[in-house]
Structure 1
Amino acid sequence: MNDSKMGLRQKGELVHWLSGVIVSAIAVSLGSCATNAPSTSSDSQTQPSSAAATGELQVITTILPITEFTKAVAGDRAEVTQLLPNNVGPHDYQARPEDAQRLANADVLVENGLDLEEFLDDLVTNAGSTDLKIIDSSEGIATISNEDVEGDDHAHAEGEEHAEEGDHHHGEFNPHIWLDPERAVQQVENIRDGLIAADPEGEAEYKANAAAYIAKLQQLDQEFSQQLQPFAGKTFVTYHDFAPYFAQRYNLNAEFLVGIPEENASPDDVQRVINAAKSSDLKTLLTEPQAAGNPFSALAKDLNVQVSDFDPMETAGEDGLQPDYYFTVMRQNLTNLTTALGGQSTQSFLPALRPSVAVVPQTVGVGF
């Protein structure tokens, strides 16, 4: 009896010992799984991007046309990202602290230049990167001064207004060079040369990509020259003064309602537009998708003309980040401009070029 009880006690102790071993083993296993578990979302945000991890050239661009040109040249060799949100133009952009960090992590910054991106100097300084290479796509390009475009009185009045209000304004030269395909070719060449300097091993690829894109720009230029030749010397009207380079290229004159989108039109501005529309017998006034509301609606009604768009591509939907978007929009601009001048376009397009986008509201006073 005593021997039997002793055997049962030993068996019980053995079972208790085995249970402890199993529980310990499970705990060790769970601890091992926890060690190999995926990191939390906050941890993953600190990890380098796949592009940075592979050593791919990191390129930051500023505005949509510069992004399009840079992506065309870079191809698959570099990671190209835009600094500004798609629906915010350079006139409205306010730099954020995280944007300085983006520049600090970049290898190359590509800008339009000509003081369009007036926010960049402080942003680059705050980024504190001594290795950041900056490509000014306007380098060496023939410019048009804002004084020549606006006239002494208008330029003086505008300067006083912006000095008082602290608004964004253009610098000494009009910055909208990308709207002239010939100057756009020079911008692409500058971007090509800058990327080669930053990444010499990619020279062949950058040159080939740039050559293909330049050929398309030259074809576009020929289309514009041919279609607009019958209207040489005529004037068209846009919302703000983005068109002097385009007009100069095709022997036209460009009039505008306001100097920059944030500016309110004065009675003198309205009268200039009326005179221009009548002298050229315009059929259409050309506003832009970026303008809030329809600033030409009342004026067009008085003149008995239509309102259409000439898109300077300062904002867009996601499609605006693709290189070929430039050609789609420019050909639509050609169609609308030809109609405005009283002709018929040889181009054919679908009604909607792009999805509607939210645009930063702007206050426009027509002033009449």
Structure 2
Amino acid sequence: MTSARRTSTLLGLAAASALALAGCAGTPAAGEDDSRISVVASTNVYGQIVEEIGGDLVDVTAIITNDTQDPHSFEASARDQLTVAEADLIVENGGGYDGFVDALIEANGSEAPVVTAVEFSHEWPENAGHDAEAEGEADAEHDEHGDHGHVEGFNEHVWYDPHTVVHVAEAVAAELGELSPDDAAAFTANAEAFAAEIEGLEGSLADIAAAHAGAQVFLTEPVPFYLIAAAELENVTPDAFSEAVEEGQDVPPATLLESLALLEDGDVRVVITNTQTAGVETAQIVGEADGRGIPSIAFSETLPEGQTYISWMQANIEALSGALSA
């Protein structure tokens, strides 16, 4: 987001939130339980993870809940501003993916603790390692609501990395335990149970690696990159192709020709698209793959209705395994 646009957004949010606060003050939502911890998550992916950890002890609100909303360009509303202002805990992706959360925090001056998922990725440039967190250094990092803009060369779609998600769940449990010490043991136990389910996902990815390590895949957008890496598959997509699609720009003609040549070579085993983005070049790649008998599958950025994080990731892994075995 440009500086001018960010400033405009913050001013607009401040004005809108003042009206919202005036109209809603003193009027609790129907059925609201004040004894529960109020958690706001940027997307329903993180919202569901929080539900797994907090159970009946938390009220979770996810700002983005469907696949028609692009977090990269999402414009927050006055209602979103109020929701964040009243949160006891905020969970975001970070890395420029959901920058609207940081804008909301800055606009309302929230002092609620923030769990920022990218900070738990081993690939995060500023990550000093999980050992530093054990020494208490992470608390300071998570309480600072910087701009968290896009970091060049870093893939921010870390919810597709099971290892990172385990550490996010642990951080959520720790923050919830600080907010409700009497329930800390329950939060920790839930996080441990969740981590055990993540181990199942990692086992499924290891099975793919055992059977297909080194197989070439083409990602029209870099969303599932971490899942592909965990399965020890090789992403051969030209950076210029996936970057253009992610930014909603035209793929350079030379890059498109290079990409089509990769499919013609016959080494690409599967094409993976993003259900939330589409374009002429993506359709052309899928059409070329179909014509050559190369399976194509689609992954999404938000949690499909009726799914948990675990069931969703397992379905994605099974789809990938099936495509590679076709």
Look up the match of 2:115: 135
- Alpha-carbon distance in structure 2 between the residues aligned to 1:269 and 1:51: 54
Structure 2 unaligned regions, length at least 5: 1-22, 126-148
Mapped pair 1:106 → 2:87: yes
The alpha-carbon deviation at position 305 of structure 1 amounts to 3.5
Moved over 6 A (4+): none
The alpha-carbon deviation at position 94 of structure 1 amounts to 1.0
Mapped pair 1:227 → 2:208: yes
**In the alignment, is the contact (CA less than 8 A) between 2:271 and 2:294 conserved in 1?**
yes
- Alpha-carbon distance in structure 2 between the residues aligned to 1:47 and 1:243: 42
- Alpha-carbon distance in structure 2 between the residues aligned to 1:144 and 1:274: 32
Change (3 A) 1:107 1:114: same
- Alpha-carbon distance in structure 2 between the residues aligned to 1:292 and 1:241: 14
What amino acid is aligned across from residue 296 of structure 2 in structure 1? Answer: S
Change (3 A) 1:269 1:316: farther
Change (3 A) 1:222 1:126: same
Look up the match of 2:136: none
**In the alignment, is the contact (CA less than 8 A) between 2:40 and 2:91 conserved in 1?**
yes
What amino acid is aligned across from residue 242 of structure 2 in structure 1? Answer: V
**In the alignment, is the contact (CA less than 8 A) between 2:41 and 2:90 conserved in 1?**
yes
**In the alignment, is the contact (CA less than 8 A) between 1:60 and 1:109 conserved in 2?**
yes
Look up the match of 2:315: 332
**In the alignment, is the contact (CA less than 8 A) between 1:52 and 1:58 conserved in 2?**
no
- Alpha-carbon distance in structure 2 between the residues aligned to 1:170 and 1:280: 34
- Alpha-carbon distance in structure 1 between the residues aligned to 2:189 and 2:262: 44
Aligned pair partner of 2:283 in 297, 300, 308: 297
Aligned pair partner of 2:57 in 56, 60, 77: 77
Q: Tell me, what secondary structure is at the counterpart of 1:62?
A: strand
TM-score (norm 1): 0.66
Look up the match of 1:29: none
Mapped pair 1:269 → 2:255: yes
Q: Tell me, what secondary structure is at the counterpart of 1:58?
A: strand
Look up the match of 2:306: 319
Give the percent of matched residue pairs that are identical in Structure 1 and Structure 2.
Answer: 23
User: C-alpha offsets along residues 295-344 of structure 1, whole Å, 9 cap, x if unaligned?
Assistant: 53333434523553241x42344325xxx2x2333233223323443x15
- Alpha-carbon distance in structure 1 between the residues aligned to 2:58 and 2:226: 30
Change (3 A) 1:267 1:338: farther
TM-score (norm 2): 0.73
Mapped pair 1:194 → 2:175: yes
Q: Tell me, what secondary structure is at the counterpart of 1:60?
A: strand
User: C-alpha offsets along residues 104-154 of structure 1, whole Å, 9 cap, x if unaligned?
Assistant: 111111112222212222211112233x22122333420167xxxxxxxxx
Mapped pair 1:308 → 2:296: yes
**In the alignment, is the contact (CA less than 8 A) between 2:44 and 2:63 conserved in 1?**
no
User: C-alpha offsets along residues 18-37 of structure 1, whole Å, 9 cap, x if unaligned?
Assistant: xxxxxxxxxxxxxxxxxxxx
- Alpha-carbon distance in structure 2 between the residues aligned to 1:65 and 1:284: 25
Q: Tell me, what secondary structure is at the counterpart of 1:81?
A: strand
Change (3 A) 1:176 1:136: same
Mapped pair 1:185 → 2:171: no
Aligned pair partner of 2:46 in 57, 66, 71: 66
Q: Tell me, what secondary structure is at the counterpart of 2:306?
A: helix
Change (3 A) 1:315 1:269: farther
What amino acid is aligned across from residue 215 of structure 1 in structure 2? Answer: A
Look up the match of 2:231: 250
Change (3 A) 1:129 1:330: closer
Mapping 1:207-218, distance limit 5 Å = 207-218=188-199
RMSD between aligned alpha carbons? Answer: 2.7
**In the alignment, is the contact (CA less than 8 A) between 1:284 and 1:339 conserved in 2?**
no
Q: Tell me, what secondary structure is at the counterpart of 1:139?
A: helix
Structure 1 unaligned regions, length at least 5: 1-42, 146-168, 345-368
- Alpha-carbon distance in structure 2 between the residues aligned to 1:273 and 1:237: 9
Change (3 A) 1:45 1:129: closer
**In the alignment, is the contact (CA less than 8 A) between 1:239 and 1:287 conserved in 2?**
yes
